[in-house]
Structure 1
Amino acid sequence: MSAHAPHGGVSVVICVYTEDRWEDILAAVSSVRAQSLPALETLLVVDHNPALLERLGKEFKESEDVRVLANAGPRGLSAGRNTGIAVSRGGIIAFLDDDAVAERDWLRHFAAGYDDPLVMAVGGRTEPVWASGRRPAWFPEEFDWVVGCTYKGLPRGKVRVRNVLGGNASFRRSAFDAAGGFATGIGRDGDKRPLGCEETELCIRLTRARPDAVLLIDDRAVIHHRVPAGRERFAYFRTRVYAEGLSKALVAQSVGADKGLESERRYATRVLPAGVARGVRDFVLARPGGAGRAGAIVAGVLTTAGGYALGSFRARRTGATFSVVEIGAAEGGGGPS
């Protein structure tokens, strides 16, 4: 595997929004600095938090490899990412969650995927780091996406996928030239309802703009994502899966239910029933958490379906939509195209 920086280098974008994650942010930056393939730059994009912007500016004032900048668009993760893309200098842009740390070869594995000129995106594997020290007995691996992690049912190895997962992903710069940036009005917005799916919508839009585009997941590109205690509770689980249903309804409205729910159909008809069966088996064998995992899967499916139904109804009634930013135009002050 080549050790040189490919295609003009890799820019890493970390979107941040709260001082509560100060130590996590510093750990994320340190993990980028320790990469075996050095990043061209690390961009810390602060989401409408002047105090955090000032504090990070002072922390990295003398830094040559870290830039701190304000989200130039509306509040939310999508606009923050678009800001980072617009001002970045690399031919590849990688995204890392602000409460995650990357393993040493994370960028090296990402970069290797782009040796194929048709590859437009490469994602990795995200492992949970539970605040309590271990996975809650009731929490099914099939729903690890609830806490931003790779879930049971995703293919292993280096494989082609419909979409990458946004907290551990990279894109070729020309992907944004072809498809525009992340859609605003669909993903997370600070402490509001934990919506998502912005990377799914972008990836589907990208493959429509570039039918020859290849999107990969390479599970050797590993990050470790902290799961706070509040997200280990069933109340958060229920809120998050409901929000996912709402988000999926927006995506289906935008790109059509055929593409918007293509992967979800396999997940719901194969992966989840197998998970319920394992939970029931574990319960029969008196293994801890079996009944809880089976019940959580059933509750998760029903709650997600409820969110999707309500989201679809609202979208049809109101014509709800979201906007797609042309990177290098209004957002981010006119970065490279």
Structure 2
Amino acid sequence: MPPPAAGAPGPVTPQTPSSCADPVSLCVVICCYTAERWDIAARGMDAVAHQLGADDRLIVVVDHNEDLRRRLQRRFDGDATPAALRADQIVIADNTFANGLSGARNAGLALATEDVVVFLDDDAVARPDALSEVRAAFADETTLSIGGGVYADWAGATPGWFPDEFGWVVGCDYRGIAADGAEIRNPIGAAMAARRAELTKIGGFDSELGRVGSVPAGCEETLMGIELRRTFPDGHILRRSAFGVDHRVPENRADLRYFLSRCRHEGQSKAVLSKLAGPSSALSAEVTFVATTLTSGVARYLGQLVRGDLAAASRLIMLLVGFAMTVFGTAVGTVTGRASITPEPATPPNDPVSVDDLVSVVIPTVGRDFLPSTVHAVLAQDHPNLEVIVVDNRPERGDARTLVAGITDARLRVVDQPHPGVSAARNAGIAAANGRVIAFTDDDAIPHVDWVTRMVQTFAADTTGTLGVVSGRVFTAESTNEIQNWFEATGMFDKGPDPTVWSMNPTAAHQALGDEGPTGVFFPYVAGQFGSGNNMAFTREALTSIGGFDERLGTGTPSRGGEDLDSFRAAILEGWTICYRPEMIVRHHHRDTMAALRAQCYGYGTGMAASLTKVLGSRHALGVLKCMPLGLWLVFSPKSSRNDIFPDAWPRHLRVIEQLGYLAGPLLYLRTHARLRSRRRCSTPSGKP
């Protein structure tokens, strides 16, 4: 369990911290990012302003929110400044460092010139004489840093299920925290202070850790404490509870979902911290916390339950669940090396896509008879700047080259990919492509003549620099028999007539591309709503950021599918925007025999399950776990609304086959994963991965 503040670390090699002049001057830094906390933040700033001495300053750092910065400037302009203070004692500044709390604190540290920097949260109000306690603590020249008393100010009643040992979940003191005056490893971030020179020497706060916006990550204070002690081992980091703040706990944090999310993020942050500082330093206090505080907490709540306090049962359960979720987060963070599940912001390209850019169209094939028709349709596009790359995924047979041998257009190239699977073939096409936009269709599809023009116009219309993927509508190329009509009626390929945009960070500018897509419980993990692999295009930057297509997924591998869903999901989780444009049309030759349709249904099940199995091994695992119960019900319950998509004539056994695919998908993914690792080991010199 990773509490934010804990007891003294072990002995270290002596060094001497620098001394500071007497009296001690203070620079109080309050970081804010949202106007939603305006009232409590204003109270906190006023409480600090009335405690500042003549040599002290308050710096309010605004984390990338121009409207909030202007509002704060208006509040503290001129006559609004407390009468006892000079105008230059309150500074409103922008975060010029990395986005997030660590970056904002570093921005405040860079502006500070005083002896000691005091960091307070924007939802914490300093108690009277809190800053006097800071001055008293740093009168001792060996004091490096202090942590204050952080007292929970619940907006409503404290939840009866909330265990006292988990006060750190809401950023407050907790049962088991070090006693007043005791040596601690690190302070709680809502109320902490450190010597400016020493904090500057260790480089401030690591932006790989800490909260970004509303995502409840942490551990940046822990790393600060560890680095201070390593650099200045004769110094002290102390708990001084009279340096107190009342920390507001809003109603949305008195919530089970927030509790679990905070535990998981703390675990993931601990995993990253372990890589930065070493597990012995990162987890030393946590081992003690589990061995003493949590163990005694179990006995404590059992005793309360025996004495008739029925709510103690829920506190006991949440004590164990919180511990388990934190351990889970640590495990996920250890595997992924990431502290947060928020998407990485998409890196805008240096130059926006223009309507004249080169487009590379990649067509993977195993040499099916439809291939020449597909190539002719792509070469007939009305976009003038085009290249076509046919990737032969069975080059030993030579069928693909034979089929297109009569097409002499210089824009056509054929490349070989002997490793089986549509993902491997697409990646070979990406490697050969020269275009700014790389589009994909299948060797049994016929794009409309304006297909490429429509996709490029969509990319060029984006003003945010985040549009990484465009998909389009898929109709049947013919309806020659009942089986093809069945499949067309399901709408599995056709996503409808409305232009739609999906983003993890939607903005008003996205509305120019289409309506905001639904973001229900399955968003963005299922990913089927974003489009299909026979009609999709990516910017080169987006493909680079997601690493191309996962060769453990897709047709030609045991998983049989899911590679297009995985690429959509990966792109949106990396911060890219996806746009579906119904006027970007491809016609597809649907399966026309029952045997082929059975294989396709089974592949849908295996591909979806395999792609979700991949997510379970990533930092996004909790998102899939949350929606899995409902997803299983939709897939397997005959009463679920998902079955409404099937026409009345749809054979029941096809649904059963798809359900069997869902059950087989995880095992098939693991099998493919093992095969790919073996292949890569064999292709690496000396046999080392």
**Same fold (TM > 0.5):** yes
Residue 176 (structure 1) aligned with residue 192 (structure 2): no
Structure 2 residue 67 is matched with structure 1 residue 51 = yes
Give the Cα–Cα distance (whole angstroms) in 2 for the partners of residues 79 and 222 of structure 1.
24
Distance 1:17 1:142 in 2: 29
Q: Using the TM superposition, name which of 62-71 and 244-253 deviates more.
A: 62-71
Q: 1:281 to 1:198 in 2, by over 3 A?
A: same
The answer to whether the Cα contact below 8 Å between 1:124 and 1:217 also exists between their aligned partners in 2 is: yes
Hey, what does 1:23 align to over in structure 2? Answer: 39
| Cα separation, 1, equivalents of 2:55 and 2:246 | 18
Q: In the alignment, what sits opposite 1:325? A: none
- Check conservation: 2:23, 2:139, Cα contact below 8 A: no
Deviations 1:52-78 (A, max 9, x none): 011111111223231101101121000
Between the aligned partners of 2:55 and 2:152, the Cα distance in structure 1 is 24
Is 1:145 the counterpart of 2:161 in the alignment? no
**Counterpart AA for 2:333:** G
Instruction: State the AA in 2 paired with 1:270.
Output: T
Among 79, 94, 99, which residue is 1:75 paired with? 99
Please name the residue that 2:297 is paired with: 275
Partner of 1:333: none
1:89 aligns with 2:105: no
Deviates more, 1:91-100 or 1:108-117: 108-117
User: Which one of the candidate residues 227, 236, 261 is aligned to 2:258?
Assistant: 236
Q: Please tell me the residue identity of whatever aligns with 2:267.
A: G
Deviations 1:61-118 (CA, angstroms, capped at 9, x unpaired): 2232311011011210001001011111211000111011111111111111112211
Contact 1:178 1:210 in 2 (8 A): no
Say whether the 8 Å CA contact 1:36–1:104 is kept in structure 2.
no
Query: Counterpart in 2 of 1:9?
Result: 25
Larger relative contact order (CA 8 Å, sep ≥ 6): 1
Cα distance, 1:128–1:235 mapped onto 2, change above 3 Å: same
Q: Report how many residues are paired.
A: 310
Structure 1 residue identity aligned to 2:206: A
Which secondary structure state, in structure 1, belongs to the residue aligned with residue 319 of structure 2? helix
RMSD over equivalenced CA pairs, Å: 1.6
Partner-residue secondary structure (3-state), 1:218: strand
Counterpart amino acid of 2:127?
E
Q: What's the secondary structure of 1:275's corresponding residue? A: helix
Offset, 1:8: 4.8
Q: How does 1:145-294 map to 2 (within 5 A)?
A: 145-191=168-214, 193-294=215-316
Aligned AA (1:158): G
Aligned counterparts of 1:36 and 1:282: Cα–Cα separation in 2: 45
Q: Is the 8 A contact 2:130 2:242 kept in 1?
A: yes
| CA distance 1:274–1:26, shift in 2 (3 Å) | same
Q: TM-score, length-normalised on structure 2?
A: 0.44
Separation in 1, partners of 2:224, 2:74? 34
Give the residue type in structure 1 aligned to 2:131.
L
> Post-superposition shift, 1:231?
0.2
Aligned to 2:126: 102
Write the letter of the residue equivalent to 2:98: P
CA pair 38-243 structure 1, distance change in 2 beyond 3 A: farther
Secondary structure of the corresponding residue to residue 28 of structure 2:
strand
- Mean CA deviation greater in 62-71 or 261-270: 62-71
* CA distance in structure 1 between the aligned counterparts of 2:53 and 2:240, rounded to whole angstroms: 16
- State which of 305, 311, 317 in structure 2 corresponds to 1:295: 317
User: Distance between the aligned counterparts of 2:54 and 2:123, measured in 1?
Assistant: 20
How many Å separate the matches in 2 of 1:45 and 1:182?
A: 15
Against the structure 1 CA distance between its residues 37 and 273, is the aligned structure 2 distance closer, same or farther, given a 3 Å change threshold? Answer: farther
Are residue 308 (structure 1) and residue 330 (structure 2) matched?
A: yes
Q: Which runs of 5+ in 1 are unaligned?
A: 317-337
TM-aligned CA deviation for residue 177 of structure 1: 3.2
Identify the residue that residue 475 of structure 2 maps to in structure 1: none
Three-state SS of the structure 1 residue aligned to 2:315 is helix
In 1, the alpha carbon distance for the partners of 2:327 and 2:56 equals 42
Q: C-alpha distance in 2, partners of 1:112/1:8?
A: 9
Which digits, 9 at most, give the CA deviation of each residue in 1:112-136, with x for residues without a partner? 111221111011110001111x311
Evaluate the alpha carbon distance shift between residue 28 and residue 6 of structure 1 in structure 2; reply closer, same or farther with a 3 A threshold. Answer: farther
User: Distance between the aligned counterparts of 2:53 and 2:321, measured in 1?
Assistant: 43
Compute the displacement of 1:224 (Å): 0.2
Aligned partner of 2:147: which letter? G
The range that moved more, 38-47 or 218-227, is 38-47
TM-superposed CA distance for 1:7, in Å, is 4.9
Query: Taking structure 1 as reference, are residues 167 and 38 closer, same or farther at Cα in structure 2, changes over 3 Å only?
Result: farther
The answer for the alignment partner of 1:123 in structure 2 is 147
1:34 is matched with 50
Q: CA deviation at 1:284?
A: 1.7
Aligned 8 A contact 1:35 1:103 in 2: no
Q: Which runs of 5+ in 2 are unaligned?
A: 1-20, 82-86, 339-689
Q: Retained in 2: the 8 A contact 1:7–1:92? A: no
Give per-residue Cα distances to partners, 1:254-310, cap 9 Å, x unaligned: 111111101111001110111121112112222152011111110011000000011
* Contact 2:112–2:196, Cα closer than 8 Å, also in 1: no
C-alpha distance in structure 2 between counterparts of 1:73 and 1:194, whole Å: 19
For the residues of structure 1 that align with 2:323 and 2:213, how far apart are their CA atoms? 25
State the SS of the aligned residue for 1:194: coil
Whole-angstrom distance in 2 between the partners of 1:145 and 1:179: 25
Per the alignment, in what secondary structure is the counterpart of residue 182 of structure 2?
Answer: strand
